[in-house]
Amino acid sequence: MDIRQLRYFVTVAEEANFTRAAARLHLAQPGVSAQVRQLEKELGQPLLDRSSRSVTLTEVGEAVLPYARAALAAVEAVRRTADEFTGLLRGHVTLGLVSGAAAAAHEFDLAAILAGFHEDHPQVEIALTEDTSERMLTALNRGELDIAVIGLADEQPPPGISVQVLVDESLVAGVALDDPALAPPDRTSIPLSELRDRPLISLPRGTGLRGVLDRACTQAGFRPRIAFEAAAPLFLAQLAARGLGVAVLPALPAGSASALGLRTLEITEPPLRGRVALAWRTDAPSSPAATVLLNLLRTTLSPT
């Protein structure tokens, strides 16, 4: 057996699916399946039950799994120790980005930061994925992500997760220029209660902004009427400008709302805030590569 076979076996066991495991390993599914079968052949015992859509561990697989994980951890420790003497940083870092975060944090050039990190540490492989904040928090807890840029729905992060807020801004209601909610013309705000019976346009469930909206509406005693969902705040604004509903979104850059044919009203009573944060796991050790990238992101993305 070799270390690759153990890594593939552990990944399949965690994902309960060969296709998802292959995607996580950035490999073709047949290759992962063949290597796991080779491991089973060498051990003379089946480790995985493939009889259903969800792959499960056999009794032998359950017994072997902790030792396979320990072997992988030992190999990583050997590499880490050797790298400390050479000053070489290598490994793999997985970074998650919530859909729409790039637009909310438009002043942050994340691509430039990652390019600079890659230039300084070419032996480190960086994987970037987009998902909802809810799913990325789960992935952080499971160790599938090292770092994530998420939208915060709650005041406090879940246990075992630390955050650094990057953006904290008012949420606004985007309405078409001919919307009656604009009367009088100099109106600048709208109480949340006035959105009770209005069709709303919002980010999808699982995003921080949507969590803030849903929670505020529940506390106000009503359920929001979500007419349209989209991952990009700009598209939310475009839908609202066409009169398809009221968009709940972060405040737009100066001048962009009017260019879209949109007016924005600050949501009040209560005021709603949209927060984007850097998140990482604190109840388990991270790899040296992930630690270096996290420190770079915390320093570079720190609000001024």
CATH number of residue 206's parent domain: 3.40.190.10
What pLDDT sits at residue 86? Answer: 54
Q: Structural domain tally of the chain?
A: 3
CATH value at residue 32: 1.10.10.10
Residues 242 and 285 occupy one common structural domain: no
Residues 12 and 101 occupy one common structural domain: no
Residues 190 and 239 occupy one common structural domain: yes
Residues 255 and 284 occupy one common structural domain: no
Residues 139 and 176 occupy one common structural domain: no
Q: Which of 299, 295, 303, 287 has its CA nearest to residue 125?
A: 287
What are 70's two structure tokens?
Answer: 């320990």
**pTM for the full predicted model:** 0.66
pLDDT tens track for 57-102: 999 999 999 999 999 888 877 877 776 555 557 778 999 988 655 4
What is the span of the domain harbouring residue 263?
A: 169-274
**How far, in Å, are 99, 295, 297 from residue 105 at the CA level?**
11, 18, 13
Residues 234 and 280 occupy one common structural domain: no
State the sign of the Cα–Cα–Cα–Cα dihedral 233, 237, 243, 246.
positive
Low-confidence ranges of the chain (pLDDT < 50): 102-106
What pLDDT sits at residue 289? Answer: 85
Q: Which of 174, 176, 172, 173 has its CA nearest to residue 243?
A: 176
Q: How far is CA 202 from the centre of its chain?
A: 18
Residues 161 and 284 occupy one common structural domain: yes
Residues 6+ apart with CB under 8 A from 263: 174, 175, 176, 177, 179, 182, 257
Residues 159 and 232 occupy one common structural domain: no
Of 86, 101, 122, which closes a domain?
A: 86
What pLDDT sits at residue 56? Answer: 93
